[in-house]
Structure 1
Amino acid sequence: MLKHEALPVDAPFLSLEDGKKVPSAKSIAPQLERARVMRIWGRQAKSSRSPKPSTDVDFYRVDLIDPKRASTRTKIRNAANQVLWSIPGGTLVVVPSNTLGGNAILAEILPRKEPRVVVEGEGRASGLVYPARKLRGLKQVPMRYLPESVTDAARTVKVVEEISGHAEDRVLRQYYGDYQRANDRVTGLLAGTDDFDARVIGQMIELHMAVEHALMTGNSLRPGAALFDRSVTSSPYFHARVDSPNGRAHLESASVATFVVKLLMVAAAAGLPGLACAEAIEAGHLIVENSKDVGGVELVEASKKALVDFVRTSGHDNAATYIEALQDGLNRNAANVTGEAELSD
């Protein structure tokens, strides 16, 4: 998968037409019978297995009556159709390792009508070729970072297992870091140190509360006060895995304040002096773009406007204090923020 950036299906030598679903099992029975035979051969030890079966599909047009073989052929066809056709393009797919100590692969799958590819097997499967659907943005994630609904799949033969709820959120955070789904907005950072400095977590939470309070009421609080001021009535949800190298911390809420915090972290990561950065933001010199266009241009513009409003409400000195504190926190954690900040002339 990593070599070819593709998700293959265990149907050796299955030849299919691009842009269409896998035909019925009955209509391609000889091909599926060849795949069934090749699968058995490919799993045998090289030292004891017989010569490689014929690849000529005509060789398999006879002896298609056995109901047990017909059932297996149907299962092969259905599994192939699930991967090659049923999964919508852009879906985040997770392919677990066969051991809990290994790495899972996370990637987005390309649209189903994109041309398929053929990949060569390795190891015992050397000499076999498999149809595959292209992937993009492959990432490896240790299995221990994933929810049980994913790691349990490593012990099954299931081809497709949909996940939802909290498990889905955990996988999305692992892959995207920041994302929006429905009314939920998530942003966070990835530390580059073995130990995650706790103060930056508190700074992110307090900043989120201060931003949301200022946007809701039009009143600003001095930096650090939002955690203890009883007039502050809302706070973000917090998710983290910070007890190991490359720790991650995420904030989640239904408020645009979540993305304002992200924009401030991006601006802080640019390394500009806090006061100069705050003045530039208020003057409208911060260019905000989103290459993924998640949520549409409206959300990006709303986040930018909310950032400017917060800086104006808080004042340059307070905004500079927040920016410099974030810079310090990012530096202490050697943290990575997925974004860039530029100031126009």
Structure 2
Amino acid sequence: MKTLNIDLSTRILSDKMKVHLVRPGARYAFFRTALEKNVLPVDAPFLRPEDGKPVKAPNKIAAELERARVFRDWARKPEAKRGRIPSKDLGNYSLDLGDASRSATRTRIRNASQNILWAIPGGTLTVIPNRSLSGKAILAKVAPRHEPRTFVHGTGRNQGIVFPARKIFDPKLVPMIDLPGEVLEDARSMKVVQQISGHAEERILRMYYGDYQRAEDHVAGVVAGTDDFDARIIAQMIELHLSMSNAISSGKGSEPGSALFDTESTAEVFFHGRVDSPDGRTYLASTSVITFAVKLMLIVAASGLPMGLAAQAIEAGNVTVINSAEADGAGAHAADTIQASRKALVDFARASGYPTVEAYLSALQDGLNRNSASIAGKATLDE
């Protein structure tokens, strides 16, 4: 009998992974720099923190922070009132450091630098908002803390000034209007770094990763290639999820379609989506690895393989599951997730029988084709 090989292609995230909003400078002055150079600049002119260490306390680098304060004030003045560019010589800033208001500003500059350059863990997903609601925001992960510091030259009003920055990687652009409302509100505040939590955090994770697991959250989805998202594929995915849950818990299969109206079912699956556009997306989410077993079925359905042969291989347990997506700090937990999703798939097939599995696969294949839909992952049949 042939062996069915499936690549789940799902990012397994560390349970501690968080999402942060980082405002790119006053008046969003660093947005273009972040976009073009893949860095997060800090509005701390000529500050040069040590590599691999937190930013020093304000009293340890008072002169550097005072120079940064003076250059920030100079850059923000109208050009007609600026005068000559201030001196870069630290000796000019070592005296007269006792003014309380200036000391408070220096502390704010240091704390913002510490938050961006050090406090955010490496690999954290960040949202870098645009000035305009009609523009696009950047979603990207921050580089590890211990990477060497990088420095960038300012543009526009900041011409002639050098800023410390932290590298970002794997950037994606998303429309500002697609961001959760509370994130848009936070982007207009004066805070430089803010943690995003709750439902807004989950929405950002879906926007960036599509399919992912973090702690007990399992999320899998499809992307349509048509103007109108055919709702039947959504119903098929939900019903399959419920049917799998019931079959695995009871050891008994059921006819395709029946689980959706089974009022005795205790399984929970949640639907999220943005389906009113040519690249409409729909996601299933649950606290169960069954969500990934559903995704394995979707991958097989999208593969173009003979559904009958694939169903027989699943029932016989001739299935290998790998995950080509990175495990972001999840370690051995990722391997456990892969094996658990494979077990759920095989257990469902053995409880239901391969004719039922073939019927589900064929229905999913039809639904995916109707929507010209794509799903991350691939499947092959080998001798």
**TM-score computed with the length of structure 2 as normaliser:** 0.84
> Structure 1 residues 321, 47: closer, same or farther in 2, change over 3 A?
farther
Greater shift in the superposed pair: 250-259 or 124-133: 124-133
Q: Tell me: higher relative CO, structure 1 or 2? Use CA pairs within 8 A at least 6 residues apart.
A: 2
Cα deviation for residue 101 of structure 1 reads 2.2
1:297 alignment partner, one of 335, 347, 362:
335
Q: How does 1:60-71 map to 2 (within 5 A)?
A: 60-71=93-104
> Structure 1 residues 58, 268: closer, same or farther in 2, change over 3 A?
farther
| Residue pair 2:137, 2:175 contacting (<8 A) in 1 also | yes
Return 5+ residue gaps in structure 2 as ranges: 1-33
1:333 alignment partner, one of 340, 348, 371:
371
Distance across 2 between alignment mates of 1:50 and 1:320:
77
What secondary structure sits across from 1:161 in the alignment?
Answer: strand
Greater shift in the superposed pair: 94-103 or 202-211: 94-103
CA offsets per residue over residues 138-175 of structure 1, 9 Å max, x none? 11122222222211022111112222222221111111
| Residue pair 1:9, 1:79 contacting (<8 A) in 2 also | yes
Greater shift in the superposed pair: 89-98 or 10-19: 89-98
Equivalent residue pairs, number: 345
1:233 alignment partner, one of 266, 269, 276:
266
1:136 alignment partner, one of 169, 190, 195:
169
2:358 is the counterpart of 1:324: no
Distance across 2 between alignment mates of 1:237 and 1:120:
47
CA offsets per residue over residues 201-240 of structure 1, 9 Å max, x none? 1111011111111111111112122112344332411111
Distance across 2 between alignment mates of 1:329 and 1:44:
59
> Structure 1 residues 67, 284: closer, same or farther in 2, change over 3 A?
same
| Residue pair 2:305, 2:380 contacting (<8 A) in 1 also | no
Q: How does 1:152-301 map to 2 (within 5 A)?
A: 152-290=185-323, 291-293=325-327, 294=330, 295-301=333-339
2:57 alignment partner, one of 24, 37, 45:
24
> Structure 1 residues 193, 122: closer, same or farther in 2, change over 3 A?
farther
| Residue pair 2:315, 2:353 contacting (<8 A) in 1 also | no
| Residue pair 1:117, 1:131 contacting (<8 A) in 2 also | yes
2:46 alignment partner, one of 10, 13, 22:
13
Distance across 2 between alignment mates of 1:121 and 1:285:
58
2:340 is the counterpart of 1:307: no
Distance across 2 between alignment mates of 1:63 and 1:335:
65
Distance across 2 between alignment mates of 1:121 and 1:334:
45
| Residue pair 1:96, 1:150 contacting (<8 A) in 2 also | no
Amino acid in structure 2 at the alignment position of 1:77: R
Cα deviation for residue 72 of structure 1 reads 0.8
Amino acid in structure 2 at the alignment position of 1:142: P
| Residue pair 2:217, 2:285 contacting (<8 A) in 1 also | yes
Return 5+ residue gaps in structure 1 as ranges: none
Q: How does 1:50-65 map to 2 (within 5 A)?
A: 50-65=83-98
| Residue pair 1:106, 1:140 contacting (<8 A) in 2 also | yes
CA offsets per residue over residues 299-335 of structure 1, 9 Å max, x none? 1101011112222322222212222222222233232
**Identity within the alignment, %:** 54
Distance across 2 between alignment mates of 1:125 and 1:339:
45
CA RMSD after TM alignment: 2.1
Amino acid in structure 2 at the alignment position of 1:325: A
CA offsets per residue over residues 1-44 of structure 1, 9 Å max, x none? 12222211111211111111100112112211221222223334
What secondary structure sits across from 1:90 in the alignment?
Answer: coil
